[in-house]
Amino acid sequence: MPQPPLTRRAFLKGGALAVVGTTAIPSFLTRSVLAQATTAQAQGKRLVVIFQRGAADGLNIVVPYREKAYYDLRPSIAIPQNQVIDLDGFFGLHPAMAPLKPLWDRRELAIVHACGSPDPTRSHFDAQDFMESGTPGLKATSDGWLNRALAAEAPSHRTGTPFRAVALGAQVPRTLQGRVPAVAINNVKNFTVGSAGPNSGMGPNAGQEPGSDFSAMYDESVNTVLHGTGQETFEAVRMLRSADPGNYVPAAGANYPNSAFGNSMKQVAQLLKANLGVETAFADIGGWDTHQNQGAVSGQLAGRLKEMSESLAAFWTDMGDEAGNITLVTMSEFGRTVHQNGTGGTDHGHANVMFVMGGQVAGGRVYGKWPGMDKTQLYEERDLAITTDFRQVLGESVYKTLGAHNLNTVFPDSGLQSNHFLNILKA
């Protein structure tokens, strides 16, 4: 059955790729840069950011199993001591995160506990916005911290390709919005514009050389931003198609789960390995808002952790030697209450846990000051207190991975200084 013709609205909103910038940028690329990017990969380090949307329960992810109060406050959802995967004699991983233990043992995984945003909001929307903008408490910020980091990046690291900043999903996330153009890809395997073969499902012109539909669509555009980036988006299409995404085979032993996040991480690996000049990639995984029936060793939270840890472990295996140049950071908008509630779940809390993976990570260690879980040590007598601002972790990551040394540009008014880093990364 013939498919409806491709439209600009359908392409940008629901299709495989979108390019976002804040101004018209007709000189975003040159053909010579594009030609170079298809044959040479960025020589610098790469940063991958994972957002756990919904407020993950850090206390059941990295368990303070030597804290008596942990078991007193969570009588039915605490992880039993004999099932915790021990890390250092005090903290341990949830058993569903066993796939990440080898990275910890190789010191390629570090953990920051009691970490989070200093803003006290318990609103998912506001907290995610603050963490993605990098300006807690300030709603007027128009761009994201990762976009500002790219703008502040060392010139020697910039690849100058349309795939410099990539997000897996239907739209560019708040984290990557700003003046540096970013690309959102919903499905690498089916990536196409106008036509890509008889099974593309993209319209009646399937099988012809790509170009006419897309070019005409943007030539007719009266939107300055879209018109300015139209040809560049088309060149991005050509670049990605030349990488033959439909025939990608992960490395031996990289067993991605057949899930949305597993597929996202497989596509991140594919893009990083495809000589496209990717400097930073973003993906998210939802389902962490466990108000009811959270579970303990098994259940709702365990299912999320299994998918996440299996996906990250497969990604690390897939990257092979290239993992040495990657830093991967996880984040979630806030933690959850130390008390379980009356429906076997947890409510919106404060401090949380962040993971940092990488070849340059000084891993095998839990960073940050542990605040304790006695009533007098809790935030508002209900939540784990924050002892490390999440911007400390992200600031060190962009400073040492991307060479973004102007921390006040990346995180305005944060007071971040490199001599106050936790030194999670070696260089």
Q: What is the mean pLDDT of residues 93-105?
A: 98
Residue 385 lies in a domain: yes
What's the pLDDT band for 236 if we cut at 50, 70, 90?
low
On the 0-12 / 13-18 / 19+ scale of CB atoms within 10 A, 374 is exposed
Q: What is the pLDDT of residue 191?
A: 57
pLDDT above 60 (res 339):
yes
pLDDT above 90 (res 21):
no
Q: For the chain, what is the domain count?
A: 1
Residue 186 lies in a domain: no
Q: What is the pLDDT of residue 190?
A: 65
pLDDT above 50 (res 129):
yes
* Amino acid at the residue 77: I
Residue 228 lies in a domain: no
Q: What is the pLDDT of residue 44?
A: 79
pLDDT above 90 (res 60):
yes
SS3 61: helix
Residue 352 lies in a domain: yes
pLDDT above 70 (res 8):
no
Q: Which residues pair with 91 in a beta bridge?
A: 64
Q: What is the mean pLDDT of residues 199-210?
A: 34
Q: What is the pLDDT of residue 154?
A: 75
Q: What is the mean pLDDT of residues 24-45?
A: 40
pLDDT above 70 (res 303):
yes
Residue 146 lies in a domain: yes
- Dump the DSSP string for 93-151: E-GGGGGGHHHHHTT-EEEEEEEE-SS----HHHHHHHHHHT-TT-TT--S-HHHHHHH
Q: Which residues pair with 356 in a beta bridge?
A: 110, 329
Helix (H) or strand (E) holding 202: none
Q: What is the pLDDT of residue 231?
A: 57
Q: What is the pLDDT of residue 6?
A: 35
Residue 374 lies in a domain: yes
On the 0-12 / 13-18 / 19+ scale of CB atoms within 10 A, 345 is buried
- For the stretch 243-297, pLDDT in tens is 777 788 999 999 999 999 999 999 999 999 988 889 999 999 999 999 999 999 9
Closest residue by Cα to residue 331 from 146, 179, 183, 185: 146
Better-predicted residue by pLDDT, 404 or 200 = 404
Closest residue by Cα to residue 393 from 134, 152, 86: 134
**From 5-19, 176-190, 346-360, the region with the lowest mean pLDDT:** 5-19
Residue 283 lies in a domain: no
- For the stretch 371-398, pLDDT in tens is 999 999 999 999 999 999 999 999 999 9
pLDDT above 50 (res 402):
yes
- Dump the DSSP string for 21-58: -SS--TTS--HHHHHHHTT----S-EEEEEEETT---H
Q: What is the mean pLDDT of residues 314-319?
A: 98
What's the pLDDT band for 223 if we cut at 50, 70, 90?
very low
Q: What is the pLDDT of residue 148?
A: 98
Cα gap 250→232, rounded to integer Å:
29
For the CA atoms of the chain, what is the radius of gyration? 22
Closest residue by Cα to residue 87 from 64, 70, 68, 69: 64
How many other CB atoms are found less than 10 A from the CB of residue 41?
A: 17
Better-predicted residue by pLDDT, 189 or 7 = 189
Q: What is the pLDDT of residue 7?
A: 38
Closest residue by Cα to residue 213 from 198, 202, 199, 200: 202
Pairing of strands 17-20, 326-332: unpaired
Q: What is the pLDDT of residue 234?
A: 66
Domain region containing 324? 45-158+302-420
* Amino acid at the residue 96: A
Q: What is the mean pLDDT of residues 397-408?
A: 96
Q: At what angle do helices 212-219 and 224-242 cross, to 10 degrees?
A: 160
What's the pLDDT band for 188 if we cut at 50, 70, 90?
confident
Cα gap 250→74, rounded to integer Å:
40
Q: Which residues of 55-94 are buried (b: 16+ CB within 10 A; e: fewer)?
A: bbbbbbbbbbbebeebeebbeebbbeeeebbebeeebbbb
**From 186-190, 345-349, 391-395, the region with the lowest mean pLDDT:** 186-190
CA separation (Å) from 303 to 16, 95, 291?
28, 11, 15
* Residue 54 and residue 332 in contact, taking contact as beta carbons nearer than 8 Å: yes
On the 0-12 / 13-18 / 19+ scale of CB atoms within 10 A, 126 is middle
Q: What is the pLDDT of residue 189?
A: 72
Q: Which residues of 391-402 are buried (b: 16+ CB within 10 A; e: fewer)?
A: bbbbbbbbbbbb
* Residue 177 and residue 158 in contact, taking contact as beta carbons nearer than 8 Å: no
Q: What is the pLDDT of residue 183?
A: 87
* Residue 384 and residue 58 in contact, taking contact as beta carbons nearer than 8 Å: yes
pLDDT above 60 (res 40):
no
Closest residue by Cα to residue 350 from 317, 375, 318, 387: 387
State the average pLDDT for the chain.
Answer: 83
What's the pLDDT band for 347 if we cut at 50, 70, 90?
very high
Residue 410 lies in a domain: yes
pLDDT above 70 (res 222):
no
What's the pLDDT band for 18 if we cut at 50, 70, 90?
low
